């Protein structure tokens, strides 16, 4: 919708500027016929009709930004289409170095163990400076407490609730201290893995 503005020119004559108003901002309309240089290359491009631009906008910059954005969107859509179709997935590394640390190894000790004496903490694993993985899971119907580098009690340690609660240490933090466990009842089972 046009919201024209009337202004006085240098001769004090009233001139009407054709504008469109949105949010209190008036955008002037410019009628362009013939050819106009729009890319700064000096090569004229044929256009006709009305060009609407915000005052102060550099058309060269705006056109380049729109072209770049359109290209980026097209590329993103193509990558997603290919990924969804299962054809390919493109990963671009712009700069820098990618380091993949693959500390794959074998589980050196894995077993289902049981509580030897209820109410008394016992060793799960001795301290191990080369430990790269640790998992302890309570598979019994009775709560347990885990101590890493200390003797757990009924009120201290990592609480392992009954029926599957567990703890896993991997990646950048793996404790190397002795691992100890406590359960109130003799014969209750837990799973322990170390690598």
* CA-closest candidate to residue 162, choices 192, 184, 177, 195: 184
pLDDT of residue 138: 94
Which pair of tokens denotes residue 52? 């609407």
pLDDT of residue 158: 93
Beta strands in the chain (DSSP E): 5-8, 14-17, 19-22, 25-32, 35-36, 45-46, 49-52, 109-114, 122-125, 134-138, 144-148, 158-160, 166-169, 179-183, 189-194
What count of other Cβ atoms lies within 10 Å of the Cβ of residue 136? Answer: 24
How do the pLDDT tens digits run along the chain, 195 residues long? 456 667 676 777 877 767 777 776 666 665 555 555 555 555 555 555 555 444 444 445 545 555 555 565 666 556 556 655 555 444 444 444 444 444 555 666 667 899 999 999 999 999 999 998 899 999 999 999 999 999 999 999 999 999 999 999 988 889 999 999 999 999 999 999 988
Which pair of tokens denotes residue 26? 């008036």
- 157 phi and psi, to 5 degrees? 100, 180
pLDDT of residue 94: 45
The fold for domain 109-194 equals Jelly Rolls (2.60.120)
pLDDT of residue 10: 72
pLDDT of residue 54: 46
CATH 2.60.120 range(s) for the chain read 109-194
């Amino acid at each position: 919708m046009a919201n024209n503005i009337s202004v006085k020119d240098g001769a004090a004559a009233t001139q009407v500027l054709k504008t469109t108003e949105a949010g209190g901002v008036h955008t002037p309309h410019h009628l362009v016929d013939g050819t106009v240089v729009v890319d700064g290359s000096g090569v004229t491009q044929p256009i006709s009709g009305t060009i609407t631009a915000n005052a102060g906008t550099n058309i060269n910059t705006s056109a380049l930004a729109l072209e770049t954005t359109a290209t980026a969107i097209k590329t993103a859509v193509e990558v997603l289409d290919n990924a969804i179709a299962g054809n390919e997935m493109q990963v671009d590394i712009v700069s820098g170095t990618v380091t993949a640390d693959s500390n794959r190894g074998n589980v050196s000790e894995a077993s289902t163990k049981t509580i030897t004496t209820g109410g008394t903490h016992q060793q799960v694993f001795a301290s191990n400076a080369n430990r790269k993985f640790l998992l302890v899971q309570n598979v019994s119907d009775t709560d347990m407490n885990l101590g890493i580098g200390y003797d757990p009690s009924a009120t201290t340690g990592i609480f392992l609730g009954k029926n599957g609660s567990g703890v896993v240490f991997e990646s950048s933090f793996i404790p190397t201290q002795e691992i100890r466990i406590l359960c109130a009842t003799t014969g209750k089972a837990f799973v322990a893995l170390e690598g």
